[in-house]
Copies of this chain bind each other. A is one copy, B any other.
Amino acid sequence: MNDKVTIKTIAKIANVSHTTVSRALNDSPLVKEKTKKEIHEIAERLNYSPNLNAKALVEHRSFIIAVYFTDLNSGTSPSFMSEMLHQIKEMLPKGYEIAVDSFASLRQSKQAINLRFDGALVVSQSSTDDVYIEQLANTGKPVVILNRKVERTDLFNYASDDYSGTVTAVEYLLRMGHRRIGIISGKEEFTSSQNRLAGFVDTLQKHGISLNNKWVVAGDYSVKSGYNAMEKILNLGELPTCVFASNDDMAMGAMRACEDYGFSVPEQISFMGFDDSSYSNYCIPRLTTIKKPMREITNNGIKTLNDLINNQSPKTVQSLNIKPSLVVRESVKKLN
């Protein structure tokens, strides 16, 4: 292909220097309108497209936004990820590319972090990410951490307050008369799992409700793990009246297990989820859940990064720990 159209090609045709072409193409006020127009025409005709590598080299920036996930494979819900990418793409200045990567894959291949980016957005799930976050921050380039509250206070950081969300959840369950409550927890390494579990345990304790340890079963946030965890609980003999699943996917798996074992939901066992995934309003029964404020998290994050990259001090706050809200649907029965 005619890859070789450079500013020099255009310069020759327009009978000017390549400097002028560069200026014209960058809409510099130093170039006469007429020349500018001519150059633009030629560029268009030749289907000129600037060599971003050269531009990046000389301008000391790369036109790349790095988006890091803890793990592309598991944990980050696909819908979160896809919404994320979509929003970033919408809000980012034209000409920027989005480079997707994961800390898990870096760790696995023992690779160093790639420094070619102008700003980074980190969707963090685990404190094991901190090593990498450190490295990103050390570049001095704009970095925004989402999804998980980090220790460092000098970083822009927007997260969901999962602990408080779970408190809300459990208090609702208590109000509905439940006292025998189990939990299916999420991926152990994930901060969200830890916070949700802690919120659960603490709230029961605070209200003087004893927790049956057999009703605390580990899942990994997948639908299947919810199913398996619930099987364990159902085989216990002594059943809870309600199970809090640390995310909606596991709740769906768990409800399916009940169906298979002949327990009706919510008549015999109630369920509470977390996240408010797009399926939770359509499963049977509709899932009562805690709505994770994904929209606010991503919006804040992207806006901030955007400002940072354009060297404006962000109009957003430095850090946010957003309280999730309760979404009452059909999966929790009121006991009398």
User: Which residues of A come within 8 Å of B, CB atoms?
Assistant: 1, 3, 49, 51-54, 56-57, 62, 64, 72-73, 76-79, 81-83, 85-86, 89-90, 94-95, 97-102, 105, 109, 111-112, 114-116, 138-140, 223-224, 227, 252-253, 255-256, 259, 278-279, 282-284, 286
Which among B76, B111, B283 is the interface contact of A256 at CB below 8 angstroms?
Answer: B283
Q: Judge whether B139 and A114 touch: CB under 8 Å.
A: no
A145 to chain B, nearest CB (A): 18
Which among B82, B138, B223, B259 is the interface contact of A72 at CB below 8 angstroms?
Answer: B82
User: Which residue of the partner chain B has the closest CB to A55?
Assistant: B53
Q: Judge whether B98 and A100 touch: CB under 8 Å.
A: yes
Given contacts A53-B62, A78-B82, 18 further A-B contacts (CB under 8 A): A1-B139, A49-B112, A51-B57, A52-B115, A53-B56, A53-B57, A64-B97, A78-B81, A86-B102, A89-B101, A89-B105, A97-B116, A99-B100, A223-B279, A227-B282, A252-B282, A255-B284, A256-B284
Q: How far is the CA of A90 from the CA of B256 in the complex (A)?
A: 32
Q: Judge whether A140 and B1 touch: CB under 8 Å.
A: yes
- A283 / chain B contacts, CB cutoff of 8 Å: 252, 256, 283-284
- Taking A139-B3, A282-B253, A284-B256 as contacts, is the C-beta distance between A72 and B85 under 8 angstroms? yes
Q: How far is the CA of A278 from the CA of B94 in the complex (A)?
A: 35
Q: Is the interface of A mostly helix, strand, loop or mixed?
A: mixed
- Listed by A's residue number, 28 A-B pairs whose Cβ atoms lie within 8 Å are A3-B139, A3-B140, A52-B62, A53-B54, A53-B116, A54-B57, A56-B56, A57-B57, A78-B81, A78-B82, A78-B83, A82-B82, A85-B100, A86-B102, A89-B105, A94-B111, A95-B111, A97-B99, A97-B101, A98-B100, A99-B99, A100-B100, A227-B282, A252-B279, A255-B284, A259-B284, A283-B284, A284-B284
A142 to chain B, nearest CB (A): 13
Which among B81, B100, B278 is the interface contact of A223 at CB below 8 angstroms?
Answer: B278
Q: Judge whether A86 and B73 touch: CB under 8 Å.
A: yes
User: Which residue of the partner chain B has the closest CB to A284?
Assistant: B284
- A109 / chain B contacts, CB cutoff of 8 Å: 94
Q: Judge whether A102 and B79 touch: CB under 8 Å.
A: no
- A86 / chain B contacts, CB cutoff of 8 Å: 72-73, 102
- A138 / chain B contacts, CB cutoff of 8 Å: 1
Q: How far is the CA of A89 from the CA of B100 in the complex (A)?
A: 9
A161 to chain B, nearest CB (A): 25
- A52 / chain B contacts, CB cutoff of 8 Å: 62, 114-116
A240 to chain B, nearest CB (A): 20
Most buried by B among A3, A85, A115: A85
Which among B72, B78, B105 is the interface contact of A78 at CB below 8 angstroms?
Answer: B78
A31 to chain B, nearest CB (A): 22
A264 to chain B, nearest CB (A): 11
- A72 / chain B contacts, CB cutoff of 8 Å: 82, 85-86, 89
